[in-house]
Amino acid sequence: MNLRSFSELNDFVRHGLRNAEALIYKGELRTAAETLNVLHRQAPNDWRIHLIAIQLAEAAGNTAAARQAAERAVSMAPEASTALIEWARVLARDGEHDKALDAARKAAGKVADDDELVLSRVVAVANAAGDWNLAKETLLRALSVRANDHNVLRALGYNALHRRALDEALDWFGRVLADLPEDEIALAGRAWALLEQGKNEAAAADYQTLLRLRPDFPEYAYYGAIARGETPDRQPNTITERIVAGYASQFDDLVVHHLGYYAPRRVAEIIHETWPAKNASILDLGCGTGLLGVYLGPIEGSLVGVDFSQTMLDQAKTRGYDRLHKCDLRDALRDTPPQQYEVIVACDVFVYVGRLEPHVPDIARILRPNGMVALTFEQSETAPLELRRSGRYAHSVDGVTQALEAGGLTEVRIEPLTLRYEAGAPIAGFIATARKRPPG
């Protein structure tokens, strides 16, 4: 037994921290807190107590307390790699990526290549900040001591995908698949790289294998259809959710100020023009952060928002909505009783949902007589429904008009508009409005 082992035998704080950590894993948070309080009274200068306090606070959903504990740990032990990486992780969670990267680099510089815990968290911080080069550098360090670690090889593959190094990605995934021919994560990565390279036949074969392994996973069917040259009818919610999650906290600034997103403002103007008394009951499908509520301002009627992103809905709470529901557009339309709303709005929704036709009958059913629908679309000049490389759907004016009329709506009007700007180029789109004919 070496001297370090003798010192650990007498380290009562370490034993107490392990006990507290075990209690947290079992969900016994109150007892864990009491244990940490006792330890803190006995060893007020031991920074390790604050590391476990981070875990406790996060298990309790108290992000502010977790940040406070991480800040205390790093202030007491500014050279300790574990304190630094925990502080980096908290900073990354709070969106302070530059500071997080600084702390992560410092932590990485203090550990050996076989320190899996710290290095894996450096990679996580780098990924959150989009610093793919730091992530690659750290992963290669790990690979230097674990030459055929499949987890590291998979991570390097996806890192290469983010860097658009597609041949490199294929090499990393190929190393995994040489040992594990039906490894789902590596197969999905290779299929995506092949699809991006235009090697559609090989990509389709991988997606067919993935569907055999996971027949209930809609993304594989979606991308498999694209690889076969088909246009899927709809985009799976899981894909849309990832897109939303990537920019939810900066959504308004991104789409309004940087991309010139005008659609909710114009739709609000149309509603005010049609209902100048502001007494309409309105359903906002895919309400996002509530931009329609901002542009509508106070109304005498009611405003209900639906979105599947809780992050978006949390931001919409203060924007004039009477009710907000976390659910899928399809479920909202299916489950709403007849004749509930004068206005149904969907701004920048069918660019992800895809086909309009299946939803029009329910839209017409829940509209009140003479009610209005207002929908926005990216415009396709080549096909009724077009899936673009952006991952968004574009619709033709004729296709939308026919779908609305076939679903029981009349007085279809098309108003062209520029939906947004991307890389300085305008994205052509249009607003389609239609009415529900009163009975008789």
Residue 2 has a pLDDT of 37
Residues 265 and 164 in one domain: no
CA–CA separation, 276 vs 28, rounded Å? 57
Residues 251 and 355 in one domain: yes
| Residue 318 is assigned to a structural domain of this protein | yes
Is residue 247 within 8 Å of 253, Cβ to Cβ? Answer: no
| Residue 179 is assigned to a structural domain of this protein | yes
Residue at which a domain ends, from 173, 196, 230: 230
CA–CA separation, 376 vs 382, rounded Å? 18
Reduced to 3 states, what is the DSSP secondary structure of residue 403? helix
CA–CA separation, 34 vs 45, rounded Å? 18
**What CATH number does the domain containing 415 carry?**
3.40.50.150
Structural domains of the chain, count: 2
Residues 279 and 396 in one domain: yes
Residue 427 has a pLDDT of 85
Claim: this prediction has a pTM higher than 0.75? no
| Residue 139 is assigned to a structural domain of this protein | no
pLDDT along the chain (440 residues), means of 10: 41 84 91 92 91 92 93 95 94 92 96 91 91 95 92 93 95 96 94 94 96 91 92 80 51 38 84 92 91 89 90 84 90 92 94 92 94 95 90 93 94 89 80 87
Residue at which a domain ends, from 171, 198, 230: 230
Tell me the CA end-to-end span of the chain in Å, nearest whole number: 94
| Residue 316 is assigned to a structural domain of this protein | yes
Residues 220 and 276 in one domain: no
Residues 363 and 296 in one domain: yes
**What CATH number does the domain containing 175 carry?**
1.25.40.10
Residues 260 and 216 in one domain: no
Residues 226 and 271 in one domain: no
Residues 177 and 260 in one domain: no
Residue at which a domain ends, from 168, 198, 230: 230
Residue 97 has a pLDDT of 93
Reduced to 3 states, what is the DSSP secondary structure of residue 144? helix
Residue 169 structural domain = 148-230
